[in-house]
Structures are given as structure tokens and as C-alpha cells.
Amino acid sequence: MVVSSYLLGFTPAAWAADRTPLNHVKHSSKIHSAPLARQKSSSKTTSKTPTTSSQPEVISVSRHRMTPAARAEARLASIPGATSVIDAQKVLKGRNFTNADALSFQPGVFAQSSGGGDGLRISIRGSGIATGTNYFRSGLLMMFDGLPVTTPAGTPYELFEPLGLRYTEVLRGANAFDYGGMQLGGALNYVSMTGYDAQRYQARIEAGSFGYVKEQLSSGGVFGKFDYYISATNSYRGGYQNNTEASSFGLNTNFGYRFNDRISTRAFFRYRQTNNGYPGYLTRDQILSNPKQAQSPYYEWGSHRTQPGTKYYGSMTTIRIDDHSKIEFGGNYQDAPIDIQQTASSQIWGYKTIAGVLNYDRHDVLAGHKSDTQFGILSYSDIEAWQRNRIRASSVFGGLENGTLLRNVKYGGTENYFHLRNNTEVAHNLWLTAAGALAFIKRTSDVTYPNHDYLHTGSVNFIPRGGFRYIPDEHVEIYGNVSRSLQPPNDWNYNYAGSYYNAASYPLQAAAGENSTSGRLRNQTATTFEIGTTGHYFHNKWSVSYYHSSVHNELLTVMTPESLAAGTSIYGNASATMHQGVEASLETELLKWAGNTLSLRQAYTYQDFRYKHDSVFGHNRLPGIPEHFYQGEVHLDMRNGFYASFNAQVSSKVGASYDMTYFAPSYHIYNANIGYSWPKKHREIFISFNNLANTHYAAIVVPGYQAAGKQLSVMQPGDGFGVFVGASLGFD
């Protein structure tokens, strides 16, 4: 039992070139279009969104008249696997406080927030299954506008403000290959608003229960070949649970320039500072009886986590070489300081990283068969990465002065991915995909105080992929793929896999409970096969996927009594595990009359993650995530601008310990939303009612090791009943 021993010891501008030529995009149910018909794209446009190329198109509606989200759906439709696109215009019809709001109704995506802060628990196909909130996200490639935000440390979460986005691409599992996403969970690509999408002036405000208020001011426009978008957000929340006061301020800006019909570039800048109170974790009975309480002693300590000012600089340039090929390249720089004042000792982190992407796409006709090829490079690396632990509760350390240095660690990491993919139509409406990637991974972890311990590791990995997609008629598509995935440990994971200082090993006895060495961790790998279908027929639009992953050296985390005292988790590689699941969505037009529509949308996720033959836990399921998760919504849209919806979120019980003897209870959450959008005007108001039954439930579960009949403090509650109102006012 490996885990036992370890645990115990895309360019955003509307005119930017797409990744795959539209004239070779499959007919997807994601776009309600007429039967495919080849037509030349026009060099003229009736909107402020210019055309992207002179390549022939297959969609009967002129491309410049499609929304940016629809164009993204068309592009992702060439992938033989499960993908989806979240149109921000639909999300903005209700509260947009956290990314959990923005990522709802996505099959296969489990996204939950707790405490009212920015911390997000997100897992796709079991990625980051045991990682709680207020940590860098693991198991996913997360991007802004095709540029990686993910670093060797994982993904800092504070920059992901849901306002100021045009749409979000969700690429589950190995279907993120074209972006260089090789991790088990796949990728999320957040695409920014640009001057081509935005209103000249726009103001939005949301307010409601738990002292919540959020404001946004934004502006965007086009001046000849230049466009810009600027968004400023500010938020505050007193908190549903004690000691969960949260505040944030952020900027999201980008500036684009179109040199000519073939060359365009865009520069990005993001800034965000956050402060989130930390209530600790509760037991099951504490949540059911009084979820507003904070765990002692975090309330007494005034525990909190601050991101004092994270900065992101990026750029992306696209060059369309000719009508059949293009190249895009870009890079970014991030500076993410972190100040964690949660336990008796503080953790001050500093992360400065760089990243780059290069992609070359071309279309050919080989022996009469259409063929699309892409070569890409994805690279990101630490420039400076360190962590310092200092005393902040002197009484716990025998009266030693607050601020006394306990530990200093330096981290380092680099990831380089070289990927090549080809799609060829071998027969009418039958496309085969062949792909492969080389990954070069390096990690270092260096404890420099109070003793010295240095770890250096590296690996070279090959990641193959093959798939097909077949379109038997205009209403149905069938796809499948077999792919490898690779997930290296985050650079700081190595230190938290090592041993601890004990009282006898350090003269001052102050560092007892701190990590003293770096442990050995192996890359997590998996082989996944997936089969599924998308389609639309008789007012129904569906997507269903089944996947099965055989996982080796799965990276898991656990809270043991020793690590809980230190306020952290232990990292380790598990024995062989298996992930399988079903991801299904269905959108149904129930009734349509006189321009009014009554519709139903549903998303269901089945997740079966378990050990294969572990020496301690046998065939136990992996804890931390529900086996069944369902979201459904009835939505009414009136031609006069009025809209209303009622939705439900249903979760089965969640294992809260690896011995699977302790569970967070199942729950049903009901919400309602009513709003009015002025026809042909950029004005909107809404009122949202969340958790109508005031259900007490655990939104977040970070499992403990073995419960052995005891209730572990490993759960964080979701919000109780709340009322929120919002208004948006815009002018062109």
C-alpha cells in the first residue's frame, strides 16, 4: 500500500484565428445551425466583429454573425471527445460571486465554494480529488485566452474573477491535448471580453445576504485597428460562517491591434488582491447542528489568507501565413505573493513564473482526404519560488517571539510539452485522430533552514493519443478516444511529503510539526478510454460520455492528526486506482409560443473512483467527492424581456475518510432566479433566492485518513438561505 506509507511518514479577440479551420469542423449539436453548406466567407462585415480568414466555411450562418461562444463551440467540435462552452452572457443573468456560480451545469465538473471567499474546490474526472479550498488547484491546465495560468506549483486561484469574461471552454480529460493539457482533468480556458464584444460603458452591482456586495465598472471599444477592454471589480462579504469575511479588488484589461487581415496581436494585464477569513473545518454533526460556527482556535487567532496583489502580464500574436496555415505564439509573466495567517505559524510564499506557447496549424488535402495538423509547444517555469514559516501565536511555541523564523524552503520547477496532432477524414464523415507528446519535467525542493535538505528530480515522458469521430447524419455524432495523461506533483508537494521536525531534533523545539525534508513522489499517469455522443433532435440537445481511467501513482492528500496540528496535508502516491464515470447533459425546449420559450436543462455526473487492490483499503472508493451529482433547471424566457428559473442541485453522500466509515450527508439544494432584460438595450435587473429550504450541508470535504468511528473535522459548510439582487446598466 504505497499511499499508506507515504501518508503516514486560443486567442481571445473576436477576429483572432481559430485553432482548427472551420471548413473542417464537424456538425455539432452544440450549434443550432441549418444543415452544413459550404460558402465563402465574406470580406465585409455588418458588425464590429471582423472576419478571421478567407477560408471557406460550412455553417450556413455567416461566421461574423455568430457569437464568440458559438464560434468556440464550432472550433472545439473537431475534438473527438467531451467538450463544452459556457457563454458568460447566460451566466450574467444571476449572481456571479465565485467561479462555482460560473461553472454550474457542466457535466463532469464538480465545482464548489465555501466560506464566501475565492477558494474553489474543483475536480474534473477525479483531478485534485483530495485538494481543499485555499490551495493552488491541481490536476487541470487552467488558462486565460489560451495562455497557461498553471505553473509548476499548480494554479493560483485568485485571478479567476468570473466577471469580465466572454466565455469559458471546458475540455474534459485528454480532450485538452491541443492546448498541451496532459493532466487527468483536462483544461479550462477563460476567454476575456474584448473591445469587439463589450459595451462602451457598463456598470454592474450585486448585493444581498451575508453582507455581500460586488461592483463592476467596465469599458470597451474599437478605434480603427485598435480595440481595448478594461474591467474593475470590487467585492465584500461579511460571511455566512463565522470568521469568513472576504474582500477583493481586481483589474482585467486587454488591448488588441490588427495590423492587417493576417496579423493581429493582443496584450493582457490582470491584477487582483484578496483577503479571506479562515474558519477551519467542522465535523458532520457541527455542520448539521450549527454550520455558522468556526472551529476553535481559528476564530480566536483571527485566521485568514491574503493575496496582497497578484499580477499577470501576457500577450498573444496570430499570423495567418496563407489560407491554409497559421501560427500563434505568446507568453506571460506572473507574480503571486501569498500571506497565509491561518495556524499558529504563518506561511509567506513568493511565486514568480513565466510561460510560453507556440502553435502551428495547417490544412491539407492528402490523396483526396482532408487533413488538419497541429504542432504545439507549451512551457512554464518558476523564476523564483520560496516559502517561509514564522511564529504568529507565541503561546503555542513556549512564549517565543512572534515573527521568529521556523523554516525556509526554496522550490523550483519547469514543464515543457511538445505535442503533435493530426485529424484526417479517412471516409465520408469519419475522422481519425492521431497524436503524441513529449513532456520534460524538472522539480527541486530545498530546505535551507533550520537544517539543509535538497531534492532534485526530472523525467522525460511520452504521451500518445488516438481517437475517432463519426457523423452518421446531421443530428448525431459518435466519438471515442484512447489517451495517456501525465500529472507531475506540484513543486511544493515534495516538501509536504517529507518527514517532520520533532522536539528532540531542534534545540529551540520551535520547528516541531514543520516539514524538515522533501519526500520522494512519482508522476501520476493514467490510460483513459472514452466513448460518447452528441446530437440534437426534436427540441432536444444532448451530450453523453463514458470514460474509464486506469491510474498509476495517483497523487492523493490526507489530513492526519500530525499534519492537522501543523495546519496542512500529507502528500503521497497511491497504489493502483481506477476512475470511471458518466457525464451527461440534456437541454430540452418544452414549449414555445409567440416568441416565448420554456426550457429545461440538466447535467448529471456519475463518478466511481476506487482502489484496485490496496493492501489497507482493498477496493474502497476514494473519498472527497460525491458518486452522483445532478443539476437541473426549468427556465422561462419571455419576448418582453422577463425571465425566471427554478433549479435544483442534488448530491449523494461524500466519503470523508479513506476507510470509508465516515460520510458527509447527501443533500438537495433549491434555488430560484427572476429577472428582466430590456429588449434591445443593455439593461438588466434580477433577484436570486439561494438554498430556499435553508439546508445544512457540507459543500467541501477534504478527507482524513482513518475515522475509526470518530467524527473528523474535515468539512466546510455551504451557504444557508440567501437573497441577492443585481442590476447592470450599459451604454454603447
> Which pLDDT value is given to residue 550?
98
Give the distance from CA 305 to its chain's centroid: 20
> Which pLDDT value is given to residue 299?
85
Compute the distance between CA of residue 619 and CA of residue 61 in angstroms, rounded to an integer.
52
The C-alpha cell at 518 is 522533501
Q: Is residue 534 part of a domain?
A: yes
Give the distance from CA 716 to its chain's centroid: 20
> Which pLDDT value is given to residue 91?
87
> Which pLDDT value is given to residue 576?
95
Q: Is residue 548 part of a domain?
A: yes
State how many domains the chain has.
Answer: 1
The C-alpha cell at 231 is 474591467
Residue 227's CATH number: 2.40.170.20
Q: Is residue 185 part of a domain?
A: yes
Q: Is residue 40 part of a domain?
A: no
Cβ–Cβ < 8 Å for 333, 371: no
> Which pLDDT value is given to residue 567?
54
Q: HSE of 652 in the Cβ direction (CA atoms, 13 Å)?
A: 13
Among the listed residues 375, 366, 529, 531, the one whose alpha carbon sits nearest the alpha carbon of residue 24: 366
Q: Give, in order, the Cα–Cα distances in Å from 669 to each of 694, 702, 719.
A: 8, 21, 10
> Which pLDDT value is given to residue 572?
86
Amino acid in the structure at residue 57: E
Show the 3-state SS of 460-486: EEEEEEEEEEEEEECCEEEEEEEEEEE
**How do strand 186-192 and strand 141-144 relate by DSSP bridges?**
parallel
Compute the distance between CA of residue 252 and CA of residue 525 in angstroms, rounded to an integer.
35
DSSP 8-state secondary structure symbol assigned to residue 591: E
Cβ–Cβ < 8 Å for 155, 136: yes
Give residue 365's domain range.
68-435+458-731
Residue 312, SS3? strand
With 0-12 / 13-18 / 19 or more C-beta atoms within 10 angstroms meaning exposed / middle / buried, residue 327 is middle
Q: Is residue 27 part of a domain?
A: no
Q: Is residue 44 part of a domain?
A: no
Taking the alpha carbons at both ends of the chain, their separation in whole angstroms is 63
Per-residue b or e along 397-436, where b marks 16 or more CB atoms closer than 10 Å to that residue's CB: beeeeeebebbbbbbbbbbbbbbebbbbbeeeeebbbebb
Cβ–Cβ < 8 Å for 609, 556: no
Give the distance from CA 330 to its chain's centroid: 21
Amino acid in the structure at residue 516: S
Q: Is residue 12 part of a domain?
A: no
What residue ranges of the chain have pLDDT lower than 50? 1-62
Q: Is residue 57 part of a domain?
A: no
> Which pLDDT value is given to residue 562?
58
